[in-house]
């Protein structure tokens, strides 16, 4: 069992896909609680896109919001394929105005709720995962 997991992790690292398996946003109960990232938009502006990449990669995931922007004050549970996330990740936010912001080096596997504050910074609590 551990060998299969180790091989999978090695292959993900080798191909640069460890943090880029984010799937399309899910707004119904089909997203498992252990997989979901609750994203709260307190930014004061509409967010059209949220993209994830692992540290060291140049490749961003698909837009995990899909075609459904996150409105002002809205919160949504997003499926980020948590089991595929290894290490730190960057998050790129694209706003309705077309402007972009990147949050660097977030421990995404340990974050289950994140708030985009009005000042543009992320607010979250880290939850240490047991090994």
Provide the pLDDT for residue 128: 67
Q: Which residue has the higher pLDDT, 4 or 51?
A: 51
Residue 109 lies in a domain: yes
Q: Is residue 57 part of a domain?
A: yes
Asked whether residue 8 is assigned to any structural domain, the reply reads yes
Range of the domain at 14: 2-126
In a domain, 55, yes or no: yes
pLDDT band at 63, cuts 50/70/90?
very high
pLDDT, tens digit, for every residue of 9-51?
444 444 444 444 443 333 333 344 557 899 999 999 999 999 9
75 strand-pairing partners: 40
Please give the angle made by the CA atoms of 80, 107 and 29, to the nearest 5 degrees: 30
In the chain, the number of structural domains is: 1
In a domain, 65, yes or no: yes
Q: What is the pLDDT of residue 126?
A: 85
pLDDT at 3: 52
User: pTM of the predicted model, to two decimals?
Assistant: 0.73
Task: Say whether 11 sits in a helix, a strand or coil.
Answer: helix
Pairing of strands 111-116, 100-106: unpaired
- What pLDDT is attached to residue 53? 94
Check: CB of residue 44 under 8 Å from CB of residue 115.
Answer: no
Q: Is residue 97 part of a domain?
A: yes
**What are the tens digits of pLDDT across the range 69-111?**
999 999 999 988 877 788 899 999 999 999 999 999 999 989 9
What is the 8-class DSSP label of residue 93? Answer: E
| 76 inside domain | yes
Q: What CATH number has the domain bearing residue 48?
A: 2.60.40
The reply to whether 131 falls in a domain is no
């Amino acid at each position: 069992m551990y060998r299969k997991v180790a091989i999978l992790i090695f292959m993900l690292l080798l191909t640069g896909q460890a943090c880029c398996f984010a799937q399309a946003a899910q707004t119904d109960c089909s997203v498992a609680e252990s997989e979901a990232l609750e994203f709260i938009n307190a930014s004061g502006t509409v967010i059209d896109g949220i993209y994830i990449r692992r540290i060291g990669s140049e490749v961003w995931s698909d837009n995990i919001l899909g075609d459904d922007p996150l409105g002002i004050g809205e919160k949504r549970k997003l499926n980020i394929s948590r089991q595929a996330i290894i290490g730190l990740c960057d998050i790129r936010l694209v706003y309705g105005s077309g402007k972009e912001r990147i949050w660097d080096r977030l421990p995404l596997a340990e974050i289950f709720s994140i708030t985009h504050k009005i000042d543009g910074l992320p607010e979250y609590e880290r939850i240490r995962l047991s090994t």
